[in-house]
Amino acid sequence: GAVVSQHPSWVICKSGTSVKIECRSLDFQATTMFWYRQFPKQSLMLMATSNEGSKATYEQGVEKDKFLINHASLTLSTLTVTSAHPEDSSFYICSALAGTSGDTQYFGPGTRLTVL
């Protein structure tokens, strides 16, 4: 149980275009999802907390107009990287809160974004 999927697993796009990444909880409902960014050989950097039906809460330094997050249902959250630039190239990972106490995060497999 507690499976989280992400789509796509990798994407290559041209500079200036927008890319949407989907995060789904497959066998549970998640009122809260998180979006992370990870650089090579580094820890996970939290970008934002996404709550179903409300606006996402962004971490300090994360541009909310560049990284649009939508959590329209209890099983789906999306991250849209708008007007992508090469510096946005990274590994993006989502997680969803589950567990009996609702404090365990289950992570998706990640999405590798490369902006040319």
Partner 1 sequence: QQQVKQSPQSLIVQKGGISIINCAYENTAFDYFPWYQQFPGKGPALLIAIRPDVSEKKEGRFTISFNKSAKQFSLHIMDSQPGDSATYFCAASHGTYKYIFGTGTRLKVLA
Tokens representing 7 are: 């789509």
Interface size with partner 1, residues (CB under 8 A): 25
Q: Which stretch binds partner 1 (CB under 8 A): 43-51, 62-70, 71-79, 80-88?
A: 43-51
Nearer to partner 1, 16 or 109 (CB): 109
Nearer to partner 1, 54 or 101 (CB): 101
Of positions 49, 70, 80, 82, contacts partner 1 by CB under 8 A: 49
Residue 97 binding partner 1, by CB under 8 A: yes
Residue 35 binding partner 1, by CB under 8 A: no
Of positions 43, 54, 60, 100, contacts partner 1 by CB under 8 A: 43
- Own/partner contacts of 103-111, CB < 8 Å, gap of 24 or more, are 104/2, 105/34, 106/2, 106/3, 106/4, 106/25, 107/4, 108/4, 108/5, 108/6, 108/23, 109/5, 109/6, 109/9, 110/6, 110/9, 110/38, 111/6, 111/7, 111/8, 111/9, 111/10, 111/11, 111/21
Residue 21 binding partner 1, by CB under 8 A: no
Tokens representing 62 are: 């994360």
Of positions 21, 84, 93, 96, contacts partner 1 by CB under 8 A: 93
